[in-house]
Every structure is written in structure tokens, then in C-alpha cells.
Structure 1
Amino acid sequence: MQAFHATDQYAPMGDQPRAIEEIAASVTAGNRFQTLLGATGTGKTATMAWTIEKIQRPALVIAHNKTLAAQLCNEFREFFPENAVEYFVSYYDYYQPEAYIPQADLYIEKDSSQNDDIARLRLSATSSLLTRRDVVVVASVSCIYGLGSPEEWRERVLILEVGEEHDRDDVLRKLIESQYVRNDTVLGRGRFRVKGDVMEVQPANQETAYRISFFGDDVEQITHFDPLTGEVYARLDNLVIWPATEYVTSKPTIERAIDDIRAELEQQVAKFESENRMLEAHRIRQRTEYDMEMLKELGFTSGIENYSRILEGRAPGTHPFTLIDYFPDDFVVFVDESHQTVPQLGGMYEGDRSRKQTLVDYGFRLPSALDNRPLRFDEFLSKVKQLVFVSATPGAFELTRSKVISEQLIRPTGIVDPEVEMRPTKNQIDDLLNEIRHREEAGERTLITTLTKKMAEDLTDYLLEAGVRARYLHSEINTLDRIGIIRELRLGEYDVLVGVNLLREGL
């Protein structure tokens, strides 16, 4: 088994050795809650990494926004170059949830833009968790939202070995059941193509592809190659192909689910008809029968997650499977910036519930859709055995429950808190420009926080016109682009970063 091994490039300094010892000892002793109270800039991320190395357990690190999660992920990858550090956030660049506003009789259809790179990283996280123990997953609150069953997902894995007998048609059928798409022209993520006895497939969680050569029904050769250039990386003895989506279902499961969906549909239609609500009765029948037909023919339908309780065979009212279910029993959760993240974890359920209840009441969804939801906070706590809260200003929840509160006050760099100076707003832009010039001359960078996104964009435009190398950062920027912007700041490719709320935490 691969062990966690942190890089030798860094060593604990200041208060870090004591904090690592205290938190690791508390987790090893079996304490449920512990808090790392670290002042800003004291290296709390490094302390988390060394604590993981000391306890040698899989870890889930939860951050309260995608940008902070991306930064944490990059830092953990620096600390654990030989281990699996995965990134798990929402794969939507844009997401408009399905909703109905009764007062205006306005139905808003679900609309979204999915980021394929983040979808690949999510699949990489789940596949790593099912194959190894030396895994750190850095996630946003997406980790408490519904995923497919880990058992069903594991059963859909396709394993090929050189010299073994595999019927080629069966292999193709299994790929299609796992939501891979055949495209004989262009190979891409989650696609495969076939030419005679040669099959090429690009797994959904990878950027490279594999060529499988058959001789009759025997696997003759497996080659790992670059789908863009055709460069061959290696010849392999075996290959594991994971499903292309997080929701995969077998044919027997779909057949059973369709019967259950139909039974619930008839029950809901009868309820609406007894209340003389014929419009709602017609609406729910039309929408659900379309979904059932899609499930029967393709094994998938848009909004399949709304039938997750039925597909997984769960009882009414029970919570869905989440990323947490993919972890082994002894994993540890680190809640970064817990004063922000804990309230966020607690608030996800209520907002989701009120929106879905309206959809059910007006015949847009079956009642079982209510069970496709994020975990309630009490459910989250029941699934996690040990938590480490990390914050400079932990809240009452963390402080009152933690058996051990380890303080980390000395910065490894020796830098003290900066002097805070209040200045009048008169001529503030000229004054700001003057300060930026001083920082540029010293070879340093400047962070500027504004009140709104528009203000951040306008100020950046002004600075660029003034000859300052500047960028802005806010929530409308693509998730992966945000990572690049922060990296460029560190490399010194520009001197000023203008942002809003995102700049307040953890950068």
C-alpha cells in the first residue's frame, strides 16, 4: 500500500511542529472534533499536509469556494507529489436550476454549461478513492450533493488483460452501458471508436487514450497513446476503464426503477385528479412518461438525478449517496476556513428543499425528486467520524465541541501583522496608483479589494490604461481560469490583482 510521503523541500517551523503533534495525537486518540486555530499566514495548509502524513489516513479537505479549493489542491500537490491529490467541485461553469414561480405562472427550465475538464477531475477523484488509500480530495460543498451509488459504479468498471478472452461485441456493449459514446471520426473524453479488430477508447477521467487490439476474442495488445499526436507512451498488460458519468445503471436496475416510477406516477396523478387539478395531472404524466421512455431506450435521461432514490432502491426520505460514501471508514475531514464553511454546509439543504417542493406541488416533478438533495448538517455529521476545523476565527460550533484546540500564531516567515492605515476617500485612485508604483519598484505585488464585480472590472481597466499590469478576479470567471490567474500572480506575470469577496480568504 502506498503511504503518504510529504516532500522534503519544506520543514515545519514556528508553531507548526507542536500543532501537528497535538492535532495528530487527538485524531489518533479517536476524538471526534479538533480545531487548528491559526493566525493568517502561519501555514495552516502545510500543517494539514504534515498532519495527514503523520496519521496516514485518506482525507477530505472542504473549502467554501472553488478558487480557495483550487489553491489548496495545488498546494497539497506540491506537498504530496507521489500521492493522489484530487479536485472535486461543481462541474458547472453556469447553472440555472429548474424552478417554478406560481405567482407569475413561470416555469424556468434547467440550463447549465458543463466544464468537461472539471468533470474529468471529479471522475478521477471517485476512481482514485475506489482503487487506493493515499488520497487527499480537496472539495467544495459539492461533496454533500448527490452522486451515483459507489457499488453500482464499481460494478460497471471494465477490466481488460492481454491474453484474456473477451468478446469484442460484449466489450462495446459494456462501454455503451457505461455511457461512453461511439464516434469513429473524433476520439475524445468519454468516446471510443472501432476499426476492424482494433478499438480505441479515451477514458472519461483521463486526457490520454488506449488502443486495444483483438485477435478473434483474445486481447492481443494494449497500447497507451496520445490521441492528438498519436505518440505511443507504453504497452500495458492490463487496463481499467471507469464509467463515463457519475450516474450509471444496469439494465435490471432500470427495469425495476421504471416499474417503481410508474407506480409513483399513477399515485401522484390520482392525487391531482382527486383535487380536480387536471393541468398538474396531465403535466406530471407527460413529463414522467417521456423520462421513462428515455431511460428504457438509452439508460439515461436529462434530470436522471431526480430519480436517484428510485434507481438506488432507497427508502423515502433517505439521503442520496455523496462523495463521502466513496471514502473508506477511517477517513478524516479537514474543514478549511470553518467559520465560513460550517454555516455553508448547514444552509445548502433548506434552499434546495423549498425550490423542489414547489416543483412537486405543481406537477413538474414526482415527490421522490425531493430526495435528490444535499445532506442536512446532522446527516453530514453522522457520516463523518472525525473532523478537524481550521480557521483564524473559528465559530462557536467549532470551539464548543472540540476536545483539542491547537493554536498556531508564529509565522514560519517571521513576518508580523501588517500595519493597518485608514486614509480618506478623496483622491483615493491617485493615491492607490502611487502605492502600486512603490510596490512595483520594490518588485512586490498588490492585492486590491472592491465592493462589487463591476467596480473590480472598471478599476482594472483604469489601471491597464495607466500602464499597470493588472487582472481582476471574481465569481464569473471560469473556475480553471481562476487557478491560472493566481498562478500568474505568484510568478510575477502581473503586479496587481483586483478582486471582491474572493480575495478575503486564504490567498
Structure 2
Amino acid sequence: MSEKINTKPFILHSDFRPSGDQPQAIEKLAENLTDGLAHQTLLGVTGSGKTFTIANVIAQLNRPAMLLAPNKTLAAQLYAEMKAFFPENAVEYFVSYYDYYQPEAYVPSSDTFIEKDASINDQIEQMRLSATKSFLERRDTIVVASVSAIYGLGDPDSYLQMMLHLQQGAIIDQRQILAKLAELQYTRNDQAFQRGTFRVRGEIIDIFPAESDDRAVRIELFDDEIERLSLFDPLTGSSFGAVPRFTIYPKTHYVTPRERILDAIENIKKELVSRREYFIKEHKLLEEQRISQRTQFDIEMMNELGYCSGIENYSRYLSGRNEGEPPPTLFDYMPSDAILIIDESHVTVPQIGGMYRGDRSRKETLVEYGFRLPSALDNRPLRFEEFERLAPQTIYVSATPGPYELEKSGSEIIDQVVRPTGLLDPLIEIRPVSIQVDDLLSEARQRADKNERVLVTTLTKKMAEDLTDYLDEHGIRVRYLHSDIDTVERVEIIRDLRLGEFDVLVGINLLREGLDIPEVSLVAILDADKEGFLRSERSLIQTIGRAARNLNGKAILYADSITKSMEKAITETNRRREKQTKYNEEHGIVPQALNKKVGELLDIGQGANQKVKANKQRGKMAAEPTALYNAPKNAKEYQQQIKKLEQQMYKFAQDLEFEKAAAIRDQLHQLREQFVFEN
């Protein structure tokens, strides 16, 4: 793709050495990758240190890697862990940057067209740009991604063509630099210096790179020569020193050279003529008028501004692809020798397979009724077979691998059942359904007295809500995790559970894969004998595993009969428990409680125009931690406090509580004045 500038090796930081099943798993995984094996599975139980094993494999082979997680919460957890293991290397985060997304759609039955509506999280957009930059520039890169990685991204060839290379001593006119920055979609703003903008003061140009969070570059010109290049803190203005060269990357992945836009316009015009002829022939005059009007408006915008709303629907022409060819994705930015690790593969692999079909049916309706040209169908996520072709050497990681991974891996399934800590799988008890609510109340009180936590999983949203109300009325500190809660808030709820802000967390299908909460000593599964997706063998093993990180781990299954799924899950859990017990006896290991530090998983700001749900009647169980705004000690603390206050202000404004919003606005003003005065 491009010549790598940085060839720094991976340096793993950890207070622990591999133990238990980890050494043989690391050796086998690394050996298979070196031998060129395409697929293998790491079957690792909860708490066996799968992430640590993978980190050791990456460090040993010294190859770039992409970790695919099934959702943003687990991606955030993985990102935090990898960041701690590799603080000196490039650990990046690549997930969907939408806080809210409503795709354009047409409902023929009611003749309703829904416009695309989206709210982009500025910080995640910066992290996505940083991820592709690291893949292009550095060998020591780990990108933690969600299935967003299989969605179309800008063409890497266009992206690389558009870069602005700056070098000390280079002869370049100031106007040339400014024109190039405009091409890269940077905007001039001499007042508010923020990401993706530049400012000009005489012969000095300051640029805040789109992929940077805390560093800006200053170009000092003398005549038409770059006299000095330096990096500085855009908040405080303090200098980080001079650099000999610097590359400015485009503000967005979708930037396209002017000549390619003009070529695309010609191809769009040809397709429009063909589509209009088709609609006239079929006597669909409304659709013919609709496609003409919409497409001609888009062509005009692209010609004048270089982009238009919904430009991604013309990605086939902008990236120079033929009909049906896969779109460029994050995989196109990845080095050829990278390793792909699919975490919780039994969930992630089916997700990858399902994305294309859902997107296709919505787009076909838009094309059929004249809202989009047929070429819009090529703006899509990868098909599963395309993903298989693009995927490099792959490690599937799961405690319960699915049939696809087992088939692909063949005999290369590496067991990691023994935990280095000696912790055993939870004891399982079966109790009758008739007493489940009162029995759970009694168990929750016992756990709360010991400063331990409880996870409860129900079958329906209604039952989860009723149970939460019941426990709350009886003095239990409880919260409810449901699908309406956004990613950031979900991460904060889990963090609050660990910190002891409450004792019981109730959920439906959100308390399974990868949730790392050592404080949880009890998992209660209500209606465990209702066979189905939420009570399948895999779901039960995963849910029971949430208590496997605690010394007193126990799982209570409330059931009146034992289903096949329950029987298999109990048998597998007991097998793992016996193997761990035998290992502990042979090596004289006494199980030790995990003392995992509670840190910020990921500091992602919630968008200003986040969609606030109207039904906030569960205020007593709100997931927002109380913030104390003491005087910030440094620039980083200042930024975090500003961000938290702004989030609160926007939230109050959206709830029409303008007095509270105004009070926080005044606080913000005071905080800014205080920081400027002290610095």
C-alpha cells in the first residue's frame, strides 16, 4: 500500500508471565501463523486470559493486527486492555462514528420517504482517521474494530494521492498550501482552532490535523520556503519541538481528486439517461421525474463543491470500480501480512454474514421507486464470501465457537481452559421457577452485604423492568441495562457496577460475551428452561461464565425441568471446573481473587445532538456518574471537565430545562476564564 516509515517492534508491558494453558496456546498459535495456516480457533474459557495470550502472539511475531469485536462495548474493553499492554505502540479504535443513524428509506405501502439523518461523534471520527493513518505509516499497529470494518470506506489510492507532504527547506508558495488544504476539505478558521481547520497569521500557517487529538503543526514560511516545521499543543500553545517533515492527511476518508469527480459525473450522466429510458418504457413517469430531479441536483453539487449529500451512493464511480465489485474497506488499508483476530467469533461471524442482506433489501426499494440509481447498490458492506477472500490469516477466539469456526479450523482448535489464577468455573444450582423472584431478592441481599455484585438475565423487556422496580422497592440498589442505552452510557453502567454504585444489574441479552466484571459472584438466569435463542447451550455457557472471575462464583438457574441446552451447558461447565481443580491440585495453586483496577474503558464524548429518549422515568436508576468539578491540574483534566459539562448542558437543553443549561454554560465560562488566567 505505502512504504512503512515506522518499523518499531511491539513491546509488551505486563506484570505477569504466561501460565496455566497460556504458554502452550501462545506457542501453538504463533507456530501455526508462521507456518502460514489460514484459520485456527482459540477455545478459551472466561477468565483464562485470552486477550493476554493474543497480545503475546502479536508481540512474538511482530506483525500488525486487527481485532474484530461484536459490539462497541467489547471493542472499548479490548482497546483499553491492548492500550495497557502496548503503551509504546499504535493501538487504535475503529467503530461506527454515528451517535445516531437513520438511513434513507422508502416505505411503498404508505408512500413515505425517510431522509437520511445522522449525528457523527467527532472523537470517534478522529480515532478512525488515526487508525487508517497508523496502518499506512506504522508496522507496530493494532486496530480494534467492530463490524464497521466491513462497510465501505474511501478508496485508499485516492486517499494517498491527496496527502500534503511538508518538508523543512521545501520551496512552496503559501497559496499552494492553502489551496491544497481546501482540497483536503480542511476549512479556514482564524478564531476557533479545532480539528480539521487551519489558521493563517502572516507567514505562519497553523494546521490541526483531522486524525490528531492533541497535536497541531505550525508551518513558518520565509519567502516561498518552509523555514521551520514544529508541533504544538492546540489548547495551551506549548511547543513539542521542531520536526524535519510532516504529512497532512485528508479530513475525511471520502476525499476524491477533482479529475476523478469529473469522470464520475460523466458516468453518472450516462447511467441517468439509461435509467430514465427504462422508467419511460415501463410507464413509470413519477419515478422518472424523481430520479432525474434528485440525480441532477447531486451532479450540480458535486461539480460546484466536490461533494453532495449522500455522495457515498456514487462510490462505484468515485473509486473506479466495476459493477458488483466489493467496496474499499478498512481491509484495503491493512498491510498484507497483518493478522485478523475475531473475538467472540460465535457472535461476530454471523453478524458479518448478515450485514449485506439487510442493507441490500432497503436499497433495492430505493432503486425500484426512483430515489437512487442502480449503482447505489454497490455502496454496501462486504458480502461474506468477499470478507473471506480479503481476510488475512485468522484466529477465532471464543469460549463457545460456532460451527463455521470449528469447520474452518479443522483440528487446529487450541484449548485454553486452565486459568492462571486458579479460579474455578461457578457452581451451578437449579431452583424452581415459582420462587425465583423472592429467592433472588434474598440472594441479592446476601451478596450486597459481602460487597459482591449480581447479574440477572430475564427473557423479556417487560419482565426486566418489573423485576428492577420490585428489587428497587425492596431496598436493593439495582439498575437495568437495555437496548435503548447508548454505547458510552452502557460502558459507564458497567464501570459503576464495578465501583459499587449499585449491586444488581438486570438485563436481557446484554450480559453475555466478554463482560469482564470480577466483582460479580452470582449470575441468576430466570426461566432457564424456556428453550430458545436466549437459553441455548452457547448463551447459557456464556452467561454462567460471567461469574467465573470471582472466588465465590455461583450460577443459579431457575427452572422446573432440565432442557437439553441446560444439560449440555452444565456438563461443559463441570468438565472445565474438574480440569481446573486437577491442575490446581497438581501445581499446588490456591485460587486467588482478581484485583482488576477499575479504569476508564474509553473516553468517548457523547455527541451534542445525541437523541435523548423521552421515557426517562427511571431517573432513580440513571447511569450517569456524579462529577465533581475541582480546579483542573493540567490541560488533559481541563479538556475532560469541559467535555463533561458540555454533555450535561446539551442534555438539559434537549430536555427543555433551559435554566439548568444556562447555569452550566456559566460554569463553563468560569472554568475557561480560570484556566486561561492560571496559564
TM range (shorter): over 0.9
| Residue number in structure 2 paired with 1:444 | 452
In structure 1, runs of 5+ residues without a counterpart are none
Structure 2 CA distance for aligned equivalents of residues 489 and 122 of structure 1: 29
One-letter amino acid of the counterpart of residue 284, structure 2: R
1:178-220: CA deviation from partner (whole Å, max 9, x where unpaired): 1112222211121222232222221111122233222232223
Q: Residue in 1 aligned with 2:416?
A: 408
DSSP-derived class of the 2:427 partner: coil
Measured against aligned partners, the alpha-carbon deviations of 1:297-336 in whole angstroms (never above 9, x if no partner) come to 1211111111111011111111100000101111111111
Native 8 Å contact 1:130 1:154 kept in 2: no
Structure 1 residue 99 corresponds to structure 2 residue 115: no
Structure number with larger C-alpha Rg: 2
Could you tell me which residue of structure 2 aligns to residue 109 of structure 1? 115
Match of 1:277 among 250, 267, 284: 284
Give the aligned partner of residue 143 of structure 2: 137
Residue type at the aligned position of 2:428: V
Deviation at 1:454, TM superposition (A): 6.6
- Structure 2 SS opposite 1:501: coil
Matched, 1:34 2:40: yes
Question: What secondary structure is seen at the aligned counterpart in 1 of 2:241?
Answer: strand
Deviates more, 1:33-42 or 1:489-498: 489-498
How far apart in 1 are the matches of 2:218 and 2:184? 18
**Is 1:149 aligned with 2:155?**
yes
Taking structure 1 as reference, are residues 446 and 214 closer, same or farther at Cα in structure 2, changes over 3 Å only?
farther
2:343 to 336, 341, 344: 336
Deviation at 1:136, TM superposition (A): 1.1
Letter in 1 for 2:272: L
Q: Give the direction of change, closer, same or farther, for the CA distance of 1:241–1:32 in structure 2 (3 Å limit).
A: same
Q: Which moved more, 1:267-276 or 1:454-463?
A: 454-463
- CA 1:242 to 1:309, structure 2 compared with 1: closer, same or farther past 3 Å? same
Sort the Cα spacing of 1:456 and 1:248 in 2 relative to 1 into closer, same or farther, 3 A.
farther
SS at match of 1:503: coil
In structure 1, C-alpha distance between the alignment counterparts of 2:112 and 2:256, rounded to whole Å: 33
| Aligned equivalents of 2:485, 2:235: Cα separation in 1 | 28
Using the alignment, how far apart are the partners of 1:226 and 1:470 within structure 2?
A: 43
Instruction: Return the letter of the residue paired with 1:14.
Output: G
Alignment of 1:397 with 2:404, yes or no, is: yes
Report the 3-state secondary structure (helix = DSSP H, G, I; strand = E; otherwise coil) of the residue aligned with 2:179: helix
CA distance in 1, matches of 2:163, 2:494: 37
| Alpha-carbon displacement from aligned partner over 1:335-354 (angstroms, at most 9, x marks no partner) | 11111111111111111111
Contact 1:294–1:300 at 8 Å: present in 2 too?
yes
In the TM superposition, residue 427 of structure 1 has moved relative to its aligned partner by 6.8
> Unmatched 5+ residue regions in structure 2?
1-6, 516-679
Could you report, residue by residue, the CA deviation over 1:231-278 in whole angstroms, capped at 9, with x for unpaired residues?
A: 333333332221111101011111111111111111111111111111
* Partner Cα distance (1:461, 1:223) in 2: 58
TM-score, normalised with respect to structure 2: 0.71
- Cα distance in 2 for partners of 1:493, 1:241 equals 44
Query: Of 57, 65, 71, which aligns to 2:63?
Result: 57
- Superposed, 1:463-502 pairs within 5 Å as 471-492=479-500, 494-502=502-510
In 1, Cα distance between equivalents of 2:137 and 2:197: 23
| Residue in structure 1 matching 2:94, options 85, 88, 107 | 88
> Which range moves more in the overlay, 54-63 or 322-331?
54-63
Q: Match of 1:160, SS?
A: strand
- Find the aligned partners of 1:148 and 1:435 in 2 and give their Cα distance: 53
In structure 1, the residue matched to 2:321 is: 314
**Identity of matched residues, %:** 57
**More deviation in 396-405 or 360-369?**
396-405
The CA distance in 2 between the partners of 1:217 and 1:490, in whole Å, is: 58
The one-letter amino acid of 1:505's match is: E
Deviation at 1:147, TM superposition (A): 0.5
Task: Say whether residues 1:180 and 2:180 are aligned partners.
Answer: no
Which one-letter code corresponds to 1:477 in the other structure?
I
Shift of residue 226 of structure 1? 2.9
Deviation at 1:462, TM superposition (A): 6.8
Amino acid across the alignment from 2:48: T
Distance 1:422 1:292 in 2: 65
Q: CA RMSD in A?
A: 2.2
CA distance in 2, matches of 1:51, 1:475: 35
CA distance in 1, matches of 2:304, 2:470: 56
Q: Tell me the TM-score normalized by structure 1.
A: 0.94
Give, as a single letter, the amino acid of the residue that structure 2 aligns with 1:91. Answer: Y
SS of the residue aligned with 1:234?
strand
Residues in 2 aligned to 1:7 and 1:467: alpha-carbon distance in whole angstroms: 43
| CA distance, structure 2, for counterparts of residue 225 and residue 496 of structure 1 | 46
> Do residues 288 (structure 1) and 257 (structure 2) align?
no
Higher relative contact order (CA 8 A, sep 6+): 1
TM-aligned CA distance change 1:238 to 1:396, over 3 Å: same
376, 380, 389: which one aligns with 1:373: 380
Distance (whole Å) between structure 2 residues aligned to residue 89 and residue 297 of structure 1: 32
CA contact under 8 A between 1:167 and 1:217: conserved in structure 2? yes
Q: How many pairs were matched up?
A: 507
Q: Tell me, yes or no, if structure 1 residue 248 matches structure 2 residue 239.
A: no
State the distance in 1 between where 2:292 and 2:91 align. 45
Aligned residue for 2:243? 236
